[in-house]
Amino acid sequence: MNTIANNLAGRVAVITGASSGMGRATALLLASRGAKVALLARRKEALDAIAGEIRQLGGEALALATDVTDQASVEAAAAAVRQQLGNADLVFNNAGLMLPGAIGAQPQKEWESQIDLNVTGAMRVIQAFIPQLEAAAAQGKVVDLINTSSIAGQYVYGYFAVYSATKAFVSHLTRHLRLELGPKNIRVSVIEPGITETELQSHFTFQGAIDWLENASKSIDFLKAEDIAQTVGFIVSMPKHVNMQQIVVMPTKEGI
C-alpha cells in the first residue's frame, strides 16, 4: 500500500479477524482504496500496529479489541463504529477458527470453539451490523456484507468434519441472506478459499492434518492472504446493481 486511492472514498468498512491473515490484508487493501476501516479482533496490540500503518499512509482506521464469541463485545464494537466512523456499509465477516480432529477423540473445547466462533460468532456480527447496513442502503449507498467460508463447506475432508460443517453453514446462510437483504439493496457475498497461508494452520493439534499440510505444501503453491483481499476488493468494486454471490478461490494445483 503506497498511496491512498479514492474508489472506496466515503465507505465505512468493518473487518473481523483483522489482526492477521486475510483480515489484515483486506483491511490494508480497503484502506489503500480510500475506505475508513474498523479493525475488529481480540489482539489489541496487533490491531493498533495495523491501524498505525494505515494512518501513516494517510488512511483512517479504528482499532477495536473485539471477541465475536461475546455478545456484549460485538455490540460495543458496533456502537463504536457508528459513533466514530458512521454507519458501516461494508462488513467483511471473516473471523474464524480451523481445528481438524477425529470425531470421538477431539477435545470438546476444540470442536465447541469452532462452532462458537465460525457459526455463532459470525451470526453475532451479522445481527449487530445489519441495522447499520440497512441505514446505509436507505441513504442510497453501495452496501456489502461479505462472509468468509471455505471450499471445505462444499467438499468432504477427513478429520475436518466440524470445521467443514461450520463453513457449510456460512455458505448456505449467505444464500438465504441474499433473499432477505437483496430487496433492501444490500449485496451479500461469500468467499470460499482453498488452502491459504494464514495463521489458522499454526493452531492445529491433530498430527495427521499437520503432516498432510506439510506434504501438500511441497506440491501446491498455497493462496496468500493478499489473494483473498484482492477478491474482496473485486466484489466491492462492482457496479451497485451487481452482486457476486459466491466466489471460489483455489490454488491452481489444489484438487488435481
Rounded CA separation 5/27 (Å): 14
Its pTM stands at: 0.92
What is the CB neighbour count within 10 angstroms for residue 173?
A: 19
Most confident of 2-6, 95-99, 145-149, 217-221: 145-149
pLDDT of residue 218: 79
pLDDT of residue 208: 67
What is the CB neighbour count within 10 angstroms for residue 75?
A: 14
Domain-wise residue ranges, the chain: 12-249
Which residues are bridge partners to 41 per DSSP?
65
Instruction: Give pLDDT tens digits for 174-209.
Output: 999 999 999 999 999 999 999 888 766 666 776 766
Rounded CA separation 70/124 (Å): 8
Q: What is the assigned CATH class of domain 12-249?
A: alpha beta
Residues identified as active-site: 163
- What number is the average pLDDT over the span 107-124? 96
Nearest alpha-carbon partner for 147 in 95, 76, 223, 74: 95
